[in-house]
Amino acid sequence: MPTVLITGANRGLGLEFARQYAADNWRVIATCRKPTLASKLIQIRGDITILPLDVTDFSAIEATSEILQAEKIDVLLNNAGIYDPNKKGLRKTDFDLWAKMLRINVLAPLKIIESFTPQVTSSDKKMIVSISSLLGSITANDTGGQYAYRSSKAALNSINKSLSVDLAVKGVISIVISPGWVRTDMGGPEAALGPVESVAGIRRVIDSLQLVDNGKFFNFDGSSINW
């Protein structure tokens, strides 16, 4: 039975990842800040373990890795993240929010990867998947604005490229993937995709990954995104 570890699993894409993987007979390790309040996550049936984890607390990440030191994590899924729904532009930058966003969207995923690399490299699949965004593509930026969110996802993409080089010798496949514009708390009600469709697409990409895909930037439908 393969194992997936999912951060930010109490809502949105993270919750749907937990549902789909549990339904497909994976062992699911789902983390979120307050499991006792994650009523929908608690209701999921299957081989699922729910653990408290605030990804901004790096000591907690290390402690969680210690708890799970005997696990073999086939897919490490960096899903937790935040977004600025106000889409503020030039001269309206909330620098405090930007700093928070960088810690959650950039520093935390790398800390999680550093802490759980032994569990990933001991598994059969050896995959690290971080949820990025089309807004992290510099090439695709033709509308401007959203400095904080765009830069956080571009930085995550850059980190993944280095990871793909550093961990290749251990047989790890590390990718970033855009879920598309999804109807979640983050994406809003007018988004084009539902969580079920987006997550199903991402899972198909994960299932088809080969070593040649290491370091790439994918869309949820399997197409490549330019940096």
pLDDT of 43 over the 70 cut? yes
- Reported as a pLDDT band with limits 50, 70 and 90, residue 71 is very high
Q: Flag whether 191 is in a domain.
A: yes
Q: Flag whether 227 is in a domain.
A: no
* pLDDT at residue 50, rounded to an integer: 98
Q: Flag whether 134 is in a domain.
A: yes
Q: How far apart are CA 218 and CA 222, in angstroms?
A: 6
- At 157-167, the pLDDT tens digits run 999 999 999 99
- Reported as a pLDDT band with limits 50, 70 and 90, residue 65 is very high
Residue 96 exposed, middle or buried by CB count within 10 Å (0-12, 13-18, 19+): exposed
Cα angle vertex 187, ends 144, 209, to 5°? 90
Q: Flag whether 114 is in a domain.
A: yes
Q: Annotated catalytic, 83?
A: no
* pLDDT at residue 149, rounded to an integer: 95
Residue 161 exposed, middle or buried by CB count within 10 Å (0-12, 13-18, 19+): middle
pLDDT of 106 over the 70 cut? yes
Q: Annotated catalytic, 216?
A: no
- Reported as a pLDDT band with limits 50, 70 and 90, residue 184 is confident
pLDDT of 29 over the 80 cut? yes
pLDDT of 144 over the 70 cut? yes
- At 197-225, the pLDDT tens digits run 999 999 999 999 999 999 999 999 999 99
Q: Is the pTM above the cut of 0.75?
A: yes
Q: Which residue of the set 111, 125, 126, 153 is catalytic?
A: 153
What are 173's two structure tokens? 């496949």
Give me the mean pLDDT over the 19-30 stretch: 98
* pLDDT at residue 58, rounded to an integer: 98
Give me the mean pLDDT over the 86-91 stretch: 74
What rounded mean pLDDT belongs to the chain? 95
* pLDDT at residue 88, rounded to an integer: 67
| Better-predicted residue by pLDDT, 187 or 227 | 227
pLDDT of 66 over the 90 cut? yes
Q: Flag whether 58 is in a domain.
A: yes
Q: How far apart are CA 105 and CA 101, in angstroms?
A: 6
List the domain range (segments joined by +) for residue 159.
3-219
The CATH number of the domain holding residue 92 is: 3.40.50.720
Q: Flag whether 36 is in a domain.
A: yes
Q: Which residue of the set 149, 161, 170, 216 is catalytic?
A: 149
Give me the mean pLDDT over the 122-144 stretch: 97
CB 155 within 8 A of CB 205: no
Number of domains into which the chain is organized: 1
